[in-house]
Amino acid sequence: MVKRIRIHEEYCIGCRLCEIICMVKHSASGKIIKAFRKESERPLPRVRVEEEGYTSFALQCRHCDEAPCVENCLTGAMHRDEATGVVLCDEDLCVGCWMCVMSCPFGVVERKEKGKTTVSKCDVCAGKEEIPPCVKNCPNEALTYE
Note whether 68 binds another protein by CB under 8 A.
Answer: yes
Q: Which of 26, 27, 56, 88 binds another protein (CB under 8 A)?
A: 56
Q: What is the nearest approach in angstroms of another protein to the Cβ of residue 130? A: 20
In three-state form (DSSP H/G/I as H, E/B as E, the rest C), the secondary structure along the chain is: CCCCEEECHHHCCCCCHHHHHHHHHCCCCCCHHHHHHCCCCCCCCCCEEEEECCEEEEECCCCCCCCHHHHHCCCCCEEECCCCCCEEECCCCCCCCCHHHHHCCCCCCEECCCCCCCEECCCHHHHCCCCCHHHHCCCCCCEEEC
Between 28 and 95, name the residue whose CB sits nearer to another protein. Answer: 95
Q: Which of 28, 41, 74, 126 binds another protein (CB under 8 A)?
A: 74
Between 128 and 140, name the residue whose CB sits nearer to another protein. Answer: 140
Give CA 96 to chain center in angstroms: 17
Binding-site string for another protein from residue 84 to residue 103, where x marks contact by CB under 8 A and - marks none: ------x--x-xxxxx-xxx
Note whether 43 binds another protein by CB under 8 A.
Answer: no
What are the residues binding another protein (CB under 8 A)?
4, 6-17, 20-21, 32-33, 36-37, 48, 50-52, 54-57, 59, 62-68, 71-72, 74-77, 79, 90, 93, 95-99, 101-107, 109-111, 117, 137, 139-142
